[in-house]
Amino acid sequence: MDEFQLIDRFFKPLSRPADASVRLGIGDDGAVLVPPSGCDLVMATDTVLSGVHFPTDCSPRAIGHRALAVNLSDLAAMAADPLWYTLALSLPSASARWLRGFTQGLSTLSAEAGIALVGGDTVRGPLAVTVTVVGCVPRGQAVTRTGGRPGDWVCVTGALGRAAAGLAAWRRGQRRGATLVPFLYPHPALEWIPLLRDFAHSAIDISDGLIQDLGHLLENRPLGAEIRLDRLGCDPEDLEGLERALWGGDDYVLCFTVGSRQWPALQRRIRSRNLECRAIGRIVPGPGIRCQGVMARRIHPIRMQGYDHFRNKVPRARHVRPSPR
Ligand code: ADP
Ligand code: MG
């Protein structure tokens, strides 16, 4: 199978042929795309690397899913509807079996998200996948990291620490079971896009842990946050679970802030759509993230003191070491 047969066989089927927004997709030097009128376009790109973002012995299906999911999560955090994506793939060899699994992972999620593959690049090299996504928002309505205000509720759109628990299980040698799913198949919170647009002052997706990513919402602003540990949904006896919820990466849950006046209307929308949401704390004036609740004294004091490090550079919790065999 040469490079062009590979593209025709595995990647062409991922483009939506009947989509009027794609004037010209895979096959030419570039894609010709028609942006929806009255919209701003939002672009994001993320690379996933074997041995860094996913384990070296991870299934190709999970790799395809992850490469697209982490990018869709960025669009969701900006409140942008997915439109198109490109795929730059570096592969050690052209294995049809591997490519079948990989494109299944991509196609299941791309169908769910309504996003079309419009181009890419395929080279031989160490396994690395770069996806670039383009989405759209009504003009001026993108939600950014910087709009939080004192008094805002800090909310998260799902349980935290489940991906870190999955990774821990993987490292112990577990290869099956529901515990692994949040780690291997992170779910981008696309169902939140319309609600964020209507209600959120600021938003970010949690890829590097709540404390670090909440830190980005406060960065360069005279703002801090108070987090109520009892609202994270952790078992109060499970210190490890609490620490995963605070510092574990790869959850791809959204963290957003909403004014307390809009909170009741948002709650009604959440209930009518059957979504999960936890108000876990508040934005406060003055810097720093403080944890409140009976568990606060038990969490790693050095890591909380280390908050300033989180604002600059922290050792990443998500690095995946080769699993013991
Ligand atoms: P060029 O030589 O102009 O860079 P290529 O030969 O790399 O073009 O690619 C041929 C066509 O196939 C292009 O339209 C490109 O966008 C598409 N393509 C290549 N690799 C991929 C891929 N992994 N996924 C989707 N489309 C791809
Ligand atoms: Mg060319």
Q: How far apart are CA 245 and CA 104, in angstroms?
A: 30
Q: Residue of the nearest CA to atom 22 in ligand 1?
A: 120
| Rounded mean pLDDT, 285-303 | 80
The per-residue pLDDT for range 208-218, each reduced to its tens digit, is 999 999 999 99
The per-residue pLDDT for range 72-90, each reduced to its tens digit, is 999 999 999 999 999 999 9
pTM, to two decimals: 0.92
User: 192, 63 in Cβ contact below 8 A?
Assistant: no
Does residue 167 fall inside a structural domain?
yes
Does residue 325 fall inside a structural domain?
no
3-class secondary structure, 169: helix
Of the three residues 112, 138, 164, the one that is the final residue of a domain is: 138
Query: Total domain count for the chain?
Result: 2
Share of the chain above pLDDT 70, in %: 91
pLDDT of 320 higher than 50: no
* 188-192, 199-203, 243-247: least confident range: 243-247
pLDDT of res. 303: 57
Does residue 147 fall inside a structural domain?
no
Give, to the nearest 10 degrees, the angle between helix 96-113 and helix 60-77.
Answer: 30
pLDDT band at 282 (very low <50, low <70, confident <90, very high): very high
pLDDT of 119 higher than 80: yes
The per-residue pLDDT for range 29-63, each reduced to its tens digit, is 999 999 999 999 999 999 999 988 999 899 999 99
Q: Which of 5, 24, 26 to mutate to test the pocket of ligand 1 (most atoms within 8 A of CB)?
A: 26
Identify the residues whose C-beta falls under 6 Å from ligand 1.
7, 11, 26-29, 87, 89, 117, 119-122
Taken as a whole, the chain contains a residue count of: 325
Q: How far apart are CA 208 and CA 193, in angstroms?
A: 21
Q: Are residues 111 and 169 in the same domain?
A: no
Q: Residue of the nearest CA to atom 7 in ligand 1?
A: 121
Q: Are residues 222 and 248 in the same domain?
A: yes
User: 241, 225 in Cβ contact below 8 A?
Assistant: no
Q: From start to end of 58-168, where are the E strands?
A: 81-91, 116-124, 128-138, 153-156
Q: How far apart are CA 77 and CA 25, in angstroms?
A: 26
